Structure 1
Amino acid sequence: MPQKLILVVEDNQINRTVLSGILFAEYRILEAENGQEALSLLKEHKDEISLILLDIIMPVMDGYTFLSIIKADPAYSGIPVIVTTQSGSESDEVTALSYGANDFVAKPYKPQIILHRVASLINLRETAAMINQFQYDRLTGLYSKEFFYQRVKETLQQSPEREFDIVCSDIENFKLVNDIFGVPAGDRLLCGVADLYTKFVSGKGICGRFGADHFACLLERHWEYNDKLFVEANALINALPNAKNVVVKWGIYNIVDRTVPVEQMCDRALLAARSIKGQYGKYFATYDDELRGKLLREQTITEGMEAALAQEQFVVYLQPKYSIKDGGLAGAEALVRWNHPQWGFQHPGEFIPLFERNGFITRLDQYVWEKVCAMLREWEEKGYEPLPVSVNVSRADVYQADLPDILIHLIQKYKLPPSRLHLEITESAYTENPGQIIATVNRLRELGFVIEMDDFGSGYSSLNMLNKMPLDILKLDMNFIQSETAKPADQGILRFIMDLARWMNLSVVAEGVETKTQLERLREIGGDYVQGYYFARPMPKAEFEVLLLEAAKASKEKAPHRAKLRAQQRPLLLVADEEESYRVQAQQTFGSRYQVVGAPDGASALAALDGNEHRVAAVVLSLTLPDCAGFNVLDQLVGMRDIWNIPVIATSPPSEQLEERALELGADDFVCKPYSQKSLWRRVMRTVGIRSSAQRERALEKEAYRDYLTGLLNRRGLSAACDPIREEDLPVAVYLFDLDNLKQINDTLGHLEGDGLIQRFGALLSRHTRKSDLLARYGGDEFIVIMQRMGDEQAALAKGEEICRVFRESCRTDRVPAACSAGIAVCHAQEPLADVIARADEALYRAKSDNKGGCCLWKG
């Protein structure tokens, strides 16, 4: 440990030397000849000095003046001071102590006395500082929780005749203040609230901070609590510099029974505050018999939950889901009910929130998952239609590292595909720790589970989070559906939500449908599935199995229709031949794989193609159709190849002339009549396979030219796209953009956030450029834009500055600012693209050197 530092203030050199000699072995020494010099040393070493030895009679500034200055300054007032003087009179000692000295020693110095008093004062100061750390909250200076309890207990014991209340407060959504404005801003807000508490209770009570955003005070009862009092208090808090629409809830506990532990008094006041969280216009609540009853009820529930699980008092109910399109049973949602032996069936709203708070929800959820998997296995063995069932996954479940392993173990145990178990995660869960939620849900989707966002439309961040979350199904919040159906079909945001879901390839389940009007509204705007009391209430397993039997019966009745529909959805093989025998044989040969359509003449063949081009897998075309229609149909098919590239196998009796003409016109193959069906099968399969392979190759080639993350061109695609640039396209402006702070964003917020920023910048480039411009992701965080026929250099610079500004303003990230820099080079004559990019790169380097987030135009 470093030696402690002592400041010796003495005008006499000999006395300073003597004191330094006494203290040298145990302490470090600073020396000052007078009070003025000592003040300068204090400013420089105030956090190091443990004690001051001070002479009274000195030139420039005497000891009394020095004492009065340092004791008036909070920065120095806590440093202990021992006064040294030639006089040993009692009056001098009293005067020194009245100025704030802690002790007094007379000259000549006695080494043992000096050392003893110095050590005693330093130890006393350090002990007081340590006690002070326990007594006071380090951030706000209010009493700590433990010391607040102690002070309240002492006050109540000392004043039995006076009436007191405990008042506790809770700031709603304080976590958002830290997330949005930063922890330092949140700390400043807490300090401001603490100052208001101190001023309010000054001389009338005791204040403490319990950690986070919870404050408490003991107040002597001098008034009736009313809304006006707390509305004014809330207004004062919102007038603080760091407050942004802060809402505070207060809870009051009237102290009647002083045998109740102080800790319990404060808990009850906080319980009263929490009871009005989220209620607009309510600022305070008082702990009363109703809250007390609720507390006792929760305690009873908590004490009985383990036994209830062991005795299987929790029962799984199923609420059916129906297809809006055909009204058929499409699945179910698993809900839990508590069949208590004394209380009967309990509403989930009474015990689920409590289980979420105490952590028991994870065990209850796993119990439900197991019961549902067992049901699905049983229904599979009974031959029921394999419908999916949705189960709830609470936010506590998601934070378990082994959640995927637990779910995989269950479906393997009951031999189920993961898609049979839909996982419902409430929208509010996505807002708490989105990074971990995204990673976990991505893993579950990779394993084959279907992910549903429950209660969509009830939270503040729906659209923001929807863009980031890996989802398959949206479940619209019940209250949202009921309110939206009151609006005309072309109003409200329900239609927008449906369109958005379609665009994102998400299915939509509407829950809480209670009327025919609501159902018709959903059917009109294109919902997928529905559940609610209009169809069925949640029901036990046995009742749901009746619905499964009815669904199986209906499915059997509809089987022929579905078979016909499936046949109509199969690829189509057109056999255009004047001989019926060939058409019949083709139906027999290809009927199991294709929907075979026969045509005896050219008109029938073209009519069969009309409207079905996208379904036609191949055409077997007789060149000897009546009226020479075979070549007419072939011409039509070849002419369609820019849009519909349909394979054609031409047939005719042996004729070299017909064969050569057909192949020259574009037929893919030729077969002589009569032919075997086996030969025709091989030729059709080969031709279709070759065409499909060529299409796949073209798709893969196209994919090879695109960046997988943004959909823009990659380097290979940019090089290929730049080849056709001609002289009439000049001048050309080449922009090289670089995303600033991307590494910091990846390190701070994670690579998913970084990838999202890259995608948003790619989309921004597409919006702020022309269709004829070339856009490419050049690698990592660099993008290239090539604008042809650019007017002049100033126009090029203005466009670059516009893109940088829009990105800076619209693509914000939490805690780390998003920005981009750009280098621009304008090319007036044809030259290698690499040279122009090199100049843009030089300009980009200068832009980043001068000021990140700006543009620089290359000028040589």
Structure 2
Amino acid sequence: MLSQRKILVVEDNVINRTMLCEILSGQYQVLQAENGQAALSVLKENGDQISLILLDIMMPIMDGYTFLSIVKADKALSAIPVIVTTQSDGESDEVAALSHGASDFVAKPYKPQVILHRVASIINLRETAAMMHQVQYDRLTGLFTKEFFYQRVKEILLRNPNRSYDIICSNIDNFKLINDIFGMPAGDQLLRIVAELYIKKVGDKGICGRFNADQFICLLEHRETYTDSLFIQASEQINSLSSAKNIMMKWGIYEIVDRTISVEKMCDRALLAARSIKGQYGKFCAAYDDELRSKLLQEQAITDGMEAALKEGQFEIYLQPKYRIKDDKLAGAEALVRWNHPKWGMQSPGLFIPLFERNGFITQLDQYVWNQACATLRDWDDRGFDPLCVSVNVSRADIYNTDLPDFLLEMVRRHGLSPARLHLEITESAYTENPHQLIETVAHLREVGFVIEMDDFGSGYSSLNMLNNLPIDVLKLDMKFIQSETAKPINQGILRFIMSLARWMNLSVVAEGVENRDQLERLREIGCDYVQGYYFARPMPCGQFEALLQEHGASVQEEYLQTEPRYDQGAPVLLVADEDAAYREQVKRVFEGRYQVVEAPDQKAACQCFSDCGHRMAAVILSMTLPEQGSMTVLEAMMREKHSRHIPIIATGIQDPLLEEQALEAGADDYAAKPHHQKSLWKRVHRAMDLTASRERERRLQDEVYRDYLTGLLNRRGFDSVMETLQQEHLPFAVILFDINQLKYINHTFGHDQGDRLLMQFGEILRSSTRGGDILARYGSDEFVLVVKQMRNENAVLAKGREICQAFLSGCRQNAISASCSAGIVIADAGTAMDTVMKRTSLALTRAKASGQGGCCLWKE
């Protein structure tokens, strides 16, 4: 149960204070203060918990006006709405209270129905505004959220068709490292500094938003040139204010030349431009251009063709010879891969390997290379060639497969080979991501007989720490390291130290990238064991290597958005239903110009007005003394009709508490006692309009708060709320947690527009594959949840998970997209806590992903 809202009653008269407390205590938790000074003390203790203040004006020690001035000047308290209560019902008091910052005004003696109505309305307005702020503004920086930024850009471009604009975005290089080293508070401070810089630089010439952790973006009026000095200055300002130093910002610029594409795609192009210079020292900004577009199209073409290429055997194994340095004998080879495309010709690995590492396809390609290498070794053994060892690359993505040792062991046994014949090259950069899992996996591989090589030693900062912890057999020195170190005088380099360290650790050393005789002799002099490089041979097809093997033999060593609805044309209608013609004329003079004022002297005319222009009705000023009880007839008719139920109604009549209460109970939003000043009526009408609009926004906002804007499914908050209700029904249920495996890659490579389409596609598959009573939610950025009520059958729920995974995979293939999903499944008893259920589904999902993308796994104890 939600805790009651708190209301502070500030009233010096004990009887009045007690009366207000009795009226409010049934629905609210009431705090009391006898004057303004005491009220400030209460606010100091409870300010952030108070929903509204009921404030008397005339009080000793500190009166209401002084209290209002202090509260409204305090940033932490100024948002709390205040309803002023006073003995006088004069308009001057009301205007004075409102001018001091009061939200509303009620006169004494207190009428319970009126008090409760006004209090509920004001609290509703405040809470709706707060919820709108949460949806539209980033909590940490105060900038627009991504979705609201998109919406605002669309509106600006639509309103200004002849103005030119640019979209500029920024990324912080290695922001995760900043959080890890300096801590989350320092990271948050840095983000606020960047946001303040955006606001200051953009000013009133554009708008700013925050997309993700370190991604900021703005729409800015177009300028002809952007120089590095502009962004260097911005980076220097950020570094001068942040506790984390040496912050590197990368900026991307997209000039909006094509307004037919979506805003999402415009922003993606700016982000792609920023990413294109990531890691480039001295490069601060980049513009989206044809070259970047061509690169993106090329990557798309590579991705579209990669699976077919693997099936058709377009990937070929090349072998680079490895020589023993003491006698120049052929000692082994490194297996590399080339893509012989039927149209493009032979493709360099630098073109497709980094892309495959990002999209996850590298695991399938690695397994293909491993299998081809083993098959080649088996063929040569059968034909009587000298046995040799082959090194193969194990990518970072492969390490996360907990079944890797079993997979490799089964593969070498299938080909009748000893595990020692296959050397596994682990890059040292893999150690920085998940060292614990890497150490555990490599230790297991070494235990079953594989030879472990640390590849690219000397290219990163973690090598010595990795040497200390990782069980390895061979150090493979990085090519660039060899080329730089062998150029130094022999007594100044660190190669000797590395060789001494390797000897002490009983490791063999391989130097790659040897290009000339001088490098070879230098390595021979310091005692290096093996070399490979262009000085000896380039990578070659297996047939050519086979000829080399026949000629020389081998020496083997075994140690190895929905927008607001638009009205029809014509001004909004204000209906004045009143029997007094003079009063109707007064109202008409005040409101005419902004509204089309329609007069109705009786119930029949009022109903006819609803029939003619109800769709344009902005508000109704309704006399409670229409002839023949017509006013109640009109109110009842409006409450019955769905389209008119939300039109604000200001009831008017004589100063009569019973009549006022009757009007409010029948559905009126406010009551204006006659006689009254027309300016007061103007305020009441627009206050009622604000309240009605707020209710409509709240209805939509409620949907936004609990619904994912992109897929229309429940979001995390909505899911938690629904599951809380479900658990109260004490019924068993099954939970399936889905994860889209390649979403991050697709967003980074092809833009969030393409990623969003995938998410919407998965949402539609969930809807079409489930029953009406099932619970569907988008649980995270790339995670979805399906809850099947009253489900105990393990086979049935597994079949459902596989059906949805297969449907998604098939849909992606039809659209030429390389994506799949995995699923973790739990069958839960009614009494199991949801935290426990979701932890189990997460564990099951991890197991499913480890067994191969696209799999389903049922959690078992």
TM-score (norm 2): 0.63
Give the structure 2 partner of residue 411 of structure 1: 412
Give the structure 2 partner of residue 254 of structure 1: 255
Task: Structure 1: state its 5+ residue gaps.
Answer: 567-860
- State the alpha-carbon separation in 1 of the partners of residues 184 and 420 from structure 2: 42
Give the structure 2 partner of residue 152 of structure 1: 153
Give the structure 2 partner of residue 730 of structure 1: none
Give the structure 1 partner of residue 281 of structure 2: 280
- State the alpha-carbon separation in 2 of the partners of residues 384 and 146 from structure 1: 64
Deviates more, 1:296-305 or 1:191-200: 191-200
In structure 1, what residue type is equivalent to 2:19? Answer: V
Give the structure 1 partner of residue 314 of structure 2: 313
Give the structure 1 partner of residue 112 of structure 2: 111
1:268 lines up with 2:274 in the alignment: no
In structure 1, what residue type is equivalent to 2:259? Answer: R
- State the alpha-carbon separation in 1 of the partners of residues 121 and 410 from structure 2: 67
CA-CA distance at 1:328 after TM superposition: 0.9
Instruction: Answer 1 or 2: higher relative contact order, Cα 8 Å, separation at least 6.
Output: 2
Give the structure 1 partner of residue 92 of structure 2: 91
Q: Is the 8 A contact 2:52 2:82 kept in 1?
A: yes
- State the alpha-carbon separation in 2 of the partners of residues 385 and 180 from structure 1: 52
1:230 lines up with 2:197 in the alignment: no
Runs of 4+ deviating beyond 3 Å: none
**Match runs of 1:397-476 below 5 Å:** 397-476=398-477
CA-CA distance at 1:254 after TM superposition: 1.0
Q: Is the 8 A contact 1:249 1:277 kept in 2?
A: yes
CA-CA distance at 1:139 after TM superposition: 2.2
- State the alpha-carbon separation in 1 of the partners of residues 98 and 382 from structure 2: 94
Give the structure 2 partner of residue 139 of structure 1: 140
- State the alpha-carbon separation in 2 of the partners of residues 131 and 252 from structure 1: 30
**Match runs of 1:40-439 below 5 Å:** 40-222=41-223, 224-439=225-440
Deviations 1:142-190 (A, max 9, x none): 2222122222222222222222111111111222212222222222222
Residue identity (%): 72
Q: Is the 8 A contact 1:393 1:423 kept in 2?
A: yes
- State the alpha-carbon separation in 1 of the partners of residues 90 and 406 from structure 2: 83
- State the alpha-carbon separation in 1 of the partners of residues 87 and 445 from structure 2: 84
- State the alpha-carbon separation in 2 of the partners of residues 165 and 260 from structure 1: 14
What secondary structure does 1:467 align onto? helix
- State the alpha-carbon separation in 1 of the partners of residues 184 and 122 from structure 2: 38
CA-CA distance at 1:398 after TM superposition: 1.0
- State the alpha-carbon separation in 1 of the partners of residues 88 and 542 from structure 2: 98
CA-CA distance at 1:331 after TM superposition: 0.9
- State the alpha-carbon separation in 1 of the partners of residues 527 and 381 from structure 2: 31
Distance 1:389 1:173, change over 3 A: same
Q: Is the 8 A contact 1:51 1:79 kept in 2?
A: yes
Deviates more, 1:465-474 or 1:416-425: 465-474
- State the alpha-carbon separation in 2 of the partners of residues 157 and 24 from structure 1: 50
- State the alpha-carbon separation in 2 of the partners of residues 154 and 49 from structure 1: 36
Give the structure 2 partner of residue 582 of structure 1: none
CA-CA distance at 1:519 after TM superposition: 0.9
Give the structure 2 partner of residue 485 of structure 1: 486
What secondary structure does 1:523 align onto? helix
What secondary structure does 2:540 align onto? coil
- State the alpha-carbon separation in 2 of the partners of residues 107 and 329 from structure 1: 103
Deviations 1:709-742 (A, max 9, x none): xxxxxxxxxxxxxxxxxxxxxxxxxxxxxxxxxx
Q: Is the 8 A contact 2:55 2:82 kept in 1?
A: yes
- State the alpha-carbon separation in 2 of the partners of residues 78 and 412 from structure 1: 72
CA-CA distance at 1:334 after TM superposition: 1.0
CA-CA distance at 1:222 after TM superposition: 4.1
Give the structure 1 partner of residue 826 of structure 2: none
- State the alpha-carbon separation in 2 of the partners of residues 96 and 386 from structure 1: 96
What secondary structure does 2:469 align onto? coil
Deviations 1:497-521 (A, max 9, x none): 2222222222111111111111111
What secondary structure does 2:413 align onto? helix
- Root-mean-square deviation (Å): 1.9
1:34 lines up with 2:35 in the alignment: yes
What secondary structure does 2:506 align onto? coil
- State the alpha-carbon separation in 2 of the partners of residues 452 and 155 from structure 1: 57
- State the alpha-carbon separation in 1 of the partners of residues 67 and 225 from structure 2: 50
- State the alpha-carbon separation in 2 of the partners of residues 94 and 409 from structure 1: 86
Give the structure 2 partner of residue 10 of structure 1: 11
- State the alpha-carbon separation in 1 of the partners of residues 471 and 138 from structure 2: 43
- State the alpha-carbon separation in 1 of the partners of residues 440 and 373 from structure 2: 25
- State the alpha-carbon separation in 2 of the partners of residues 129 and 449 from structure 1: 61
In structure 1, what residue type is equivalent to 2:158? Answer: Q
CA-CA distance at 1:127 after TM superposition: 2.3
CA-CA distance at 1:223 after TM superposition: 5.8
Deviates more, 1:277-286 or 1:372-381: 372-381
- State the alpha-carbon separation in 1 of the partners of residues 438 and 80 from structure 2: 52
TM-score (norm 1): 0.63
Q: Is the 8 A contact 1:237 1:243 kept in 2?
A: no
In structure 2, what residue type is equivalent to 1:219? Answer: L
Distance 1:223 1:62, change over 3 A: farther
1:20 lines up with 2:39 in the alignment: no
Q: Is the 8 A contact 1:10 1:16 kept in 2?
A: yes
- State the alpha-carbon separation in 1 of the partners of residues 139 and 506 from structure 2: 52
What secondary structure does 1:84 align onto? strand
Give the structure 2 partner of residue 504 of structure 1: 505
Deviations 1:370-393 (A, max 9, x none): 211221222222222221111111
Distance 1:130 1:404, change over 3 A: farther
Aligned length: 557
CA-CA distance at 1:295 after TM superposition: 0.8
Task: Structure 2: state its 5+ residue gaps.
Answer: 559-861
In structure 1, what residue type is equivalent to 2:151? Answer: Q
In structure 1, what residue type is equivalent to 2:543? Answer: A
